[in-house]
Chain A
């Protein structure tokens, strides 16, 4: 009987590059920036790393295929390295690989690094790419904002909440994240914005305006993981343990069957249920002290608050406007600024989220520090609402 990975693996060290339009840095520099910090934090030698996982989404415009560029940039000691890609959950997928390696007993110390160099594309937004030789023949040439904007129209129809009211709650999501991002030296966008600015911004994909969309940035984040025993033997006292790492992938129901009404993310619900079980969480709204969710667009954050079981169905807009998810609310969300202010270098985001949870749990978040949180959660949603992969990870202070 499988027992899951809860408490079997702890984080030895983490690092996060400064996110932004890093015209100065290529993929190698970004990877090294995150890795150097993590290695210092872990207090080990590079050659103690026994395996590595690299998360990169757009390999065609940064490092190419395989994880050899990771091994070369970091000069790893010829250890096995694996490149993983799972859309926007790529960073979490890399962490899963390293975590499973340690949990299985295959190695003592493993590395997970997520990186994306988006700003070599030459234009704003995510680069265009093929959807596959068959889907290119019939699927609309959608963009990410257009695909996620679908959630808003369907959610409004399901709940009867007028689009203008929904827009207010969506604007609050972005307003709150900008407030938080302004405090974070590693964030890309560090300016607070007003509700009016958010609401009056030009439309990107109805009803999403410019401030409903996350930034597009370069970035990298890194975790070095090990077992609690090895960590203690290395002299570590305060440890952040991985309580749950769960992924759920679409199987065609949303894209092909009318039973899905278009207003929620089926996979988030599934992954959350599994993660809560793995971590032993019964009442997430009470037990989760902070979380980082996949706020690629404001509407995504709003909707996943219900999918994660934090807001009651139809109640997310009210909870958001009531400040429940603000940094001084009962369940602070995106205290680092989120994708909204970090941008979304795809391969890095999942690990960037984990980095903030890690800092907060250890009381090392500086100006952003919350009052002694003990359980944190991250959530990614890769793909588009009709076809996606969701990851839900829970972290907590090791007992």
Chain B
């Protein structure tokens, strides 16, 4: 493998955290064994998040400023909102990337994240943006409901001088070991006894892949500084002993903080490890799911100078507790709450209008008047500034990174919103514009005039009749 590796990374973990005790308190009547797992918490998506919005946010968390534009974008997930619509293409538009890019949705295995990483590492030249994002659902009171979590990770992969970590070796095997599956159209996994998965899966397939990987790289097992497994902690410890790896080198699996985040999880742990790694550190990463992907990386001197915007650590710190198991279930779509007749409103999307306005809606492109400098949304041919009103002076300007402040707001209990009250208001944006917007990640009673906000890519609404999800940008309050 030529000298390729990781050029940048970022992560996204939704702010909402559901304590496992909350699940056990609600559902132990059905499954008393839940009580034994009632430790820690799992990250859960807000009602207006899905794998696609989280993917966009993970990519935005990367510090891509000094990097060349990627030639490929691979989006890995088992929970993509669309089965036939290029989900990655939505990410490309939301990120404002050059449309001359290869896009690829990688799905149908929890190994899709590491598989996408492997593909990118094996690519000839140019860089690839690999994003893994998952928000798996589980049946209420199932063991899986306790274990899983929602998150996304992005990695810019390529070659050249800017590597944060170089790849020393990679090996993969494919094996149709059906530890769980989800058929087309099903919401929940069908799972089998974990003891079989442990004995025939983890304990056989992982050593069978890692052993030759270390031999190929010529690196002794006890020289590995960071070991990343996504299997249960006790399994991971025993794998270390089997393989001669140092048990203390095992990376925190973050299950206590956010749960197992599916395709995103190996990459999330890699990102967390890179946040802590010293130059020269050797990192073993193992992904599992109908086979194994094993990687050996070595951190470069540049690792000390790279910082994602929030990173894994920052996102894990930004938490708000979900106290209602029923609200969590409702937002999973498991409780058919009566939202009243008002929610019957037909919100069919004119796809022709969406296509015409995709730069505005998905890419959040506004205009900046060349004459008066006013930044405005939506961009129209005549400047919105009453003192200017010039024709055809708008230059496209990306507003996804724009700072704003709250000019007015309300908490509306009448408007249909899956997490009432719906909070919205006028936002004054840097450059002199104003936009009426819906706020997100914002507790009722906390908004105030003048509060600074930043923009997030979120679900605007869902046309339930036609299963169409609409996306737009929403401001969220940030510290001044």
Contacts and interface: CB of A to CB of B under 8 A. Distances in A.
B357 A125 contact: no
B347 A154 contact: no
Given A143-B412, A205-B412, A256-B434, A128 B345 contact: yes
Identify the 7 closest CB pairs spanning chains A and B, nearest first: A146-B412, A128-B345, A149-B410, A150-B408, A256-B384, A123-B341, A133-B350
A257 B372 CA distance: 12
Contacts of B449: 153-154, 156-157
Interface in B399-426: 407-417, 421-422, 424-426
A160 to B, nearest CB: 11
B461 to A, nearest CB: 7
Nearest to A256: B384
Contacts of B387: 259
A13 interface: no
A150 B374 contact: no
Given A256-B377, A260-B434, A143 B414 contact: yes
B436 A139 contact: yes
Contact of A138 (B342, B361, B414, B428): B361
A204 to B, nearest CB: 5
A315 B384 CA distance: 31
A140 B434 contact: no
A122 interface: yes
Interface string A178-221: 00000000000000000000000001111010000000000000
Nearest to B376: A256
B403 to A, nearest CB: 13
A386 B426 CA distance: 9
Given A137-B361, A142-B424, 16 more contacts: A125-B414, A134-B353, A138-B378, A140-B424, A140-B438, A142-B412, A145-B412, A146-B414, A150-B409, A205-B411, A205-B421, A206-B412, A257-B376, A257-B434, A258-B407, A386-B426
Contacts of A129: 345
B360 interface: yes
B414 A145 contact: yes
A208 B408 CA distance: 14
Contact of A150 (B353, B356, B377, B425): B425
A310 interface: no
Nearest to B450: A157
B437 interface: yes
Contact of B410 (A141, A150, A263): A150
Nearest to A208: B410
A235 interface: no
Contacts of B428: 258
Interface in A133-174: 133-134, 136-143, 145-147, 149-151, 153-154, 156-157
A146 B410 contact: yes
Contacts of A204: 412-414
Most chain B CB atoms below 10 A, which of A121, A261, A263: A261
A257 B422 contact: no
B410 A205 contact: yes
Contacts of A138: 360-361, 378, 460, 472
Contacts of A139: 436
B424 A146 contact: yes
Given A255-B434, A262-B426, A154 B408 contact: yes
Contacts of A136: 347, 349-350
A140 B352 CA distance: 20
Contacts of A156: 449
Contacts of A61: none
Most chain A CB atoms below 10 A, which of B340, B377, B460: B460
Contacts of B349: 136-137
Given A122-B341, A145-B414, A257 B472 contact: no
B470 interface: yes
A261 B408 CA distance: 9
Contacts of B425: 150, 153
A156 B448 CA distance: 11
Contacts of B374: 257
Q: Assign chain A's interface to a size class.
A: 35 or more
B304 interface: no
Most chain A CB atoms below 10 A, which of B416, B436, B437: B436
A142 B436 contact: yes
Interface in A217-243: none
29 contacts: A128-B344, A129-B345, A130-B347, A134-B356, A134-B357, A136-B347, A137-B357, A140-B422, A141-B416, A141-B461, A142-B436, A143-B414, A146-B415, A150-B408, A153-B408, A156-B449, A157-B449, A205-B410, A205-B412, A206-B410, A206-B411, A253-B386, A254-B434, A256-B377, A256-B384, A256-B433, A257-B385, A259-B387, A262-B426
Contacts of A145: 410, 412, 414
Contacts of A261: 407
Most chain A CB atoms below 10 A, which of B344, B424, B438: B424
A277 to B, nearest CB: 21
A252 interface: yes
B478 interface: no
Contacts of B385: 257, 259
Given A146-B415, A153-B425, A262-B407, A257 B384 contact: yes
A261 B386 CA distance: 14
A374 B387 CA distance: 40
A300 B117 CA distance: 57
B33 interface: no
A356 to B, nearest CB: 28
Contacts of B232: none
Contacts of A208: 410
B417 to A, nearest CB: 8
Given A128-B345, A140-B438, A143-B414, A153 B409 contact: yes
Nearest to B385: A257
B280 interface: no
Contacts of B413: 203-205
Contacts of B340: 123
A154 B407 contact: yes
B235 interface: no
A259 B386 contact: yes
Interface in B458-472: 460-461, 470, 472
B173 interface: no
A101 to B, nearest CB: 33
Interface in B380-400: 380, 384-387
Interface string B139-178: 0000000000000000000000000000000000000000
Interface in B359-377: 360-361, 374, 376-377
B422 A141 contact: yes
Contacts of A256: 376-377, 384, 433-435
B59 to A, nearest CB: 21
A157 B408 CA distance: 9
Contact of B353 (A122, A137, A203): A137
Nearest to A155: B408
A262 B428 CA distance: 10
B124 interface: no
A204 B380 CA distance: 34
Most chain A CB atoms below 10 A, which of B374, B384, B470: B384
A122 B344 CA distance: 11
A149 B426 contact: no
Nearest to B357: A134
B432 interface: yes
Contact of A146 (B347, B352, B422, B470): B422
Given A145-B414, A153-B409, A140 B436 contact: yes
Contacts of B424: 140, 142, 146
